Structure 1
Amino acid sequence: AVFVLREVFDLAYDEIAGAVDKSPAAVRQIAHRARAHVAARRPRGVVSPAEARGVLEAFQRAVETGDLQRLLDILAPDVVLVGDGGGVVQAALAPVVGAGSVADVLGRFAAASLQPAQVNGHPALIRRLNGEIDTVMAVRIDDGLITGLYAVRNPEKLSRMERETTVSR
């Protein structure tokens, strides 16, 4: 969680310390060790489109049906869920870590209709309420399991989802 908050969201060590209930010095050390750990690991393999589609479909079915065991089977033990409500709508205030904890959060999506999508080139699921986009959940897949989820609920960011931008070289 410290690594994600520092490296991805560029939060200050003091802010992270408050969020994870540690001292700023401890947070700096945790971040340093996490960076070293990440640097020492072999690069992850590229997930084929077919594998990504299969994992996303299994994840979608598990969430929509509320099948906790199927959900736990597709989540990596150390999966991390990061929420973004933009301070406007309810979202996780701190990263949720671990398959059991993430499954509990995702249980709130049971019976919701989810639509598979590609968001910024990554597999994602879109949840709509009353025809409007409520949540976009980008999914990171490694070794056939979901290792990361980024659930955007911030209305300002979601307002851009209806527009598709074509990138040309």
Structure 2
Amino acid sequence: MAPISAVAFVLGKVLAGTVRGLVASLIILALAFVFGAHLAVNGWFFLVIILTCFLFASLGVVAAMTINSHEDMANFSTFVILPMSFLCGTFFSPDRLPGAVAYIIEVLPLTHSSHALRALARGDGLLPVSLAVLVGYAAVLFVAGVMVVKRVR
């Protein structure tokens, strides 16, 4: 109903989600430093965080515009987000997972975000493949969000 384009609507929603993700990320990063973490934080590190927040905010818009009920959104979180958070190297290394599962995990965006942030925090430098995967997912999910909003209108 609003006199704005689908791109503007999705961009606004995604940027709002990105800012919420950045606030949470900065709080976690501040707590890490308070508790004695020694991380090599630089511009690439923050770029990967921003890109990850943008990517998952775009995923959130796509999910919100395609899912019809709160129950279905809870199922999405339970069957997509929760397993991804445990299996994609956030808490433990996925190196010892069975072959087929490890392959699937390696194509998920959170795996590349975890790999890139860990490498940057250690001072190893940017992982170009992970950055490319994150940019690709962000672009595809943003375009999907625009397409879904156009269809719903």
| Common topology (TM > 0.5) | no
**TM-score interval, normalised by the smaller of the two chains:** under 0.3
Which structure shows the bigger proportion of residues in helix conformation? Answer: 2
Highest RCO, 1 vs 2 (Cα 8 Å, sep ≥ 6)? 2
Which structure shows the bigger proportion of residues in strand conformation? Answer: 1
Length-normalised TM-score, structure 2:
0.25
